[in-house]
């Protein structure tokens, strides 16, 4: 015996848009049925269910119907069951329902209009994605310009595009951080940092743990924790070859980079 009836309608994409996304209506309904009905059975354990888009017998307590881009869901609650906010349950389940998931861990996507100076003849919008998923976008060349894909994850840039791309990403992201405070930093200074982090073909941290791999005691001492590095150099009898910028500057010698990299001799006549 049924005493209370709950009716909810959920609007989804039009059939034409689903087809453009490579999704069939039946596929969408099957997924929604699987997720929603598990919760419905949990709320109403004494109900019966006849399935999506099928003619249900009079004794059925739950039904689905797809009409005009809306899925209508009706549940009849047996007499004596507690009152339940079905709308709240449906909203929570709809937010967790994934129709199709790309590779990577993309949480959400935002579409934004490009400024006039950045817009092109073929597109005036860009997509911002939260999460990791460069490879997922590369698989959809028919929807995205894969030559303009960028992420602030330097490790993903390294894995997808290589160490030089990771080097440029470090410089770009550090620049963004300083730009927020109106601070302009010469790109040559930033290139020293990025080169130090990537010169080995992999990314190492720009911290005392990363500096610890340097062979120059003066280089390590000039960064931070000088006493610890001096003790370590003394115990290990480390040698300073004065080949790095820090050692050369401390010893008053020309740096072995830039104009100081070459040794030229000119014969002059008086």
**What is the per-residue pLDDT across 182-235, written as a single tens digit (0 to 9) for each?**
999 998 889 988 988 898 899 988 887 777 778 888 888 888 788 888 888 889
Distances from the Cα of 51 to the Cαs of 9, 220, 265, 270, in angstroms?
A: 17, 69, 90, 104
DSSP letter (8 states) at residue 81: P
User: Could you tell me if residue 217 is inside a domain?
Assistant: yes
Angle subtended by helix axes 86-96 and 25-43, to nearest 10:
130
Domain count, the chain: 3
Give the structural domain span for 46. Answer: 2-96
Among the candidates 80, 96, 112, a domain finishes at 96
Among the candidates 73, 96, 119, a domain finishes at 96
**What is the per-residue pLDDT across 89-141, written as a single tens digit (0 to 9) for each?**
667 766 666 666 655 667 777 778 877 777 776 677 788 888 777 777 777 77
- Are both 12 and 87 inside the same structural domain? yes
This model's pTM is above 0.75: no
User: Could you tell me if residue 47 is inside a domain?
Assistant: yes
Measured between alpha carbons, how far is 61 from 269 in angstroms, rounded to an integer?
Answer: 108
Q: Which residues pair with 112 in a beta bridge?
A: 126
User: Could you tell me if residue 164 is inside a domain?
Assistant: no
User: Could you tell me if residue 9 is inside a domain?
Assistant: yes
């Amino acid at each position: 015996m049924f005493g209370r009836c709950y009716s909810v309608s959920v609007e989804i994409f039009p059939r034409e848009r689903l087809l453009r996304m490579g999704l069939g209506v039946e596929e969408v309904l099957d997924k929604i049925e699987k997720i929603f009905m598990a919760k419905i059975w949990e709320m109403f354990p004494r109900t019966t269910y006849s399935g999506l888009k099928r003619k249900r017998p009079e004794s059925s307590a739950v039904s689905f119907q797809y009409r005009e881009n809306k899925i209508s869901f009706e549940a009849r609650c047996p007499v004596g069951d507690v009152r339940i906010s079905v709308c709240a349950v449906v909203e929570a389940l709809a937010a967790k329902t994934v129709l199709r998931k790309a590779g990577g861990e993309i949480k959400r996507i935002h579409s934004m209009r490009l400024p006039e100076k950045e817009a092109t003849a073929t597109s005036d919008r860009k997509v911002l994605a939260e999460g990791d998923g460069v490879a997922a976008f590369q698989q959809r060349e028919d929807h995205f310009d894969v030559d303009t894909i960028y992420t602030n994850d330097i490790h993903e840039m390294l894995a997808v595009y290589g160490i030089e791309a990771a080097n440029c990403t470090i410089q770009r992201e550090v620049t963004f951080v300083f730009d927020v405070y109106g601070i302009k930093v010469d790109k040559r200074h930033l290139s020293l940092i990025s080169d130090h982090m990537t010169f080995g073909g992999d990314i190492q941290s720009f911290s005392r743990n990363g500096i610890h791999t340097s062979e120059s005691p003066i280089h390590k001492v000039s960064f931070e924790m000088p006493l610890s590095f001096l003790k370590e150099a003394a115990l290990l009898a480390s040698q300073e070859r004065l080949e790095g910028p820090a050692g050369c500057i401390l010893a008053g010698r020309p740096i072995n980079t830039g104009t100081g990299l070459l040794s030229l001799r000119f014969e002059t006549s008086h």
